[in-house]
């Protein structure tokens, strides 16, 4: 089975293989490596090699008994790339997968061709940024059913089948001990190697594209703009009629923007 055997974890991954330039996908808290079914066909069609993995606490990744209580996103990605003999890759992350992408690009710029981050808090720790986030997502927003928080009204109204499939995907990420349980990630306390600040993002070297749904209740365009303005040469793209799960709601527009940015394989 496709596991990367690291010292204290077995990372489940999916790899299309081939000679194309690698793209590594980082899923949201509401997904797993299997979340990218609307993206990988488009990337494969133009020649990219697509790699996705279950981050610790999600999907089929297995933390070994007695493993480290504290772990780092970047170390897992280093181990995965090494095991697959990948020197450099494009990194694509959405929502809770966006911060790890930026963290790794800051830490290992020599291994990163470009970064695409969508609808993400980006791991930014500045007090003013966190205060903005708290105003954006007060308790009333956080208490909404997940589909109301993360899917736009346009999508919920026009695509009930897509909503059903997204909810199946989101529910499959939860442990078996109850409908409100959080992924084990929160127990494992996986962390960033960097203390990410807006000032630190000014040192980001790989080319960066930030995308955001125009109806995102969790990380609205104004918040993503705060991040994009601090990254040298960063492109910010707003996906129309999409919420926090823009990659799912508007895959054609999302894929086109990503592929136009990262360029030929």
pLDDT in tens, 196-233: 999 999 999 999 999 999 999 999 999 999 999 999 99
Print the domain residue range for 119.
3-262
- Provide CB contacts within 8 A for 58, sequence distance 6+: 27, 31, 32, 173, 183, 184, 185
Q: Within a 10 A sphere around the Cβ of 178, how many other Cβ atoms?
A: 8
SS3 state of residue 208: strand
Q: What is the pLDDT of residue 179?
A: 41
- Three-class DSSP category at 171: helix
pLDDT at residue 203 in the model? 98
User: Distance of alpha carbon 170 from its chain centroid, rounded?
Assistant: 14
User: pLDDT for 91-130, tens place per residue?
Assistant: 999 999 999 999 999 999 999 999 999 999 999 999 999 9
- Contact 197/125 with Cβ under 8 angstroms? yes
Rounded Cα–Cα distance for residues 102 and 100 (Å): 5
d(CA 115, CA 92): 6
Q: Quick check: 99 and 121 in contact, CB under 8 A?
A: yes
CA angle centred on 13, ends 11 and 18, rounded to 5°: 140
Predicted local confidence at residue 68, as pLDDT: 63
Is residue 202 packed enough to be buried (19+ CB in 10 Å), middle (13-18) or exposed (0-12)?
exposed
pLDDT in tens, 18-49: 999 999 999 999 999 999 999 999 999 999 99
Place of tokens 């909503």: 163
Residues 133-156 have a mean pLDDT of: 95
CATH of the domain at 220: 3.40.50.1820
Which candidate, 214, 182, 37, places its Cα nearest to that of 96?
182
Per-residue pLDDT tens digits for 51-73: 999 999 899 999 887 666 679 99
Q: What is the pLDDT of residue 192?
A: 97
Phi, psi values for residue 73, rounded to 5°: -55, -45
> How many domains does the structure of the chain reveal?
1
Q: Give the chain's end-to-end CA distance (angstroms, integer).
A: 28
Strands 112-118 and 89-94: parallel
H or E element, residue 52: strand 49-53
Four-residue CA torsion sign, 117, 121, 125, 129: positive
Beta bridge partners of 12: 3
DSSP helix/strand/coil, 209: strand
Percent of the chain with pLDDT over 70: 92
Nearest to 151 by CA among 134, 165, 132: 165
Element (H, E) at 236: strand 235-239
Angstrom distance (rounded) from CA 63 to CA 151: 31
């Amino acid at each position: 089975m496709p596991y990367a055997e690291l010292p204290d974890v077995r990372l489940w991954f999916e790899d299309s293989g081939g000679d194309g330039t690698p793209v590594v996908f980082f899923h949201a808290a509401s997904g797993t490596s299997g979340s990218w079914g609307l993206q990988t066909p488009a990337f494969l069609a133009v020649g990219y090699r697509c790699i996705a993995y279950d981050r610790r606490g999600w999907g089929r990744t297995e933390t070994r008994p007695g493993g480290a209580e504290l772990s780092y996103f970047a170390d897992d990605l280093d181990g995965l790339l090494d095991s697959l003999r990948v020197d450099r890759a494009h990194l694509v992350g959405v929502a809770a997968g966006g911060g790890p992408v930026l963290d790794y690009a800051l830490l290992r710029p020599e291994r990163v061709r470009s970064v695409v981050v969508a609808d993400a808090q980006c791991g930014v720790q500045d007090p003013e940024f966190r205060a903005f986030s708290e105003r954006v997502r007060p308790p009333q927003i956080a208490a909404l059913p997940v589909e109301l928080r993360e899917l736009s009204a346009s999508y919920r109204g026009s695509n009930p089948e897509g909503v059903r499939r997204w909810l199946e995907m989101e529910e499959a990420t939860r442990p078996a001990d109850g409908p409100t349980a959080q992924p084990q990630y929160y127990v494992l306390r996986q962390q960033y190697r960097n203390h990410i600040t807006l000032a630190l993002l000014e040192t980001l070297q790989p080319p960066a594209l930030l995308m955001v749904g125009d109806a995102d209740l969790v990380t609205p365009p104004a918040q993503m703009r705060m991040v994009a303005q601090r990254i040298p040469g960063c492109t910010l793209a707003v996906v129309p009629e999409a919420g926090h799960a823009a990659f799912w709601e508007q895959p054609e527009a999302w894929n086109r923007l990503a592929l136009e940015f990262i360029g030929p394989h």
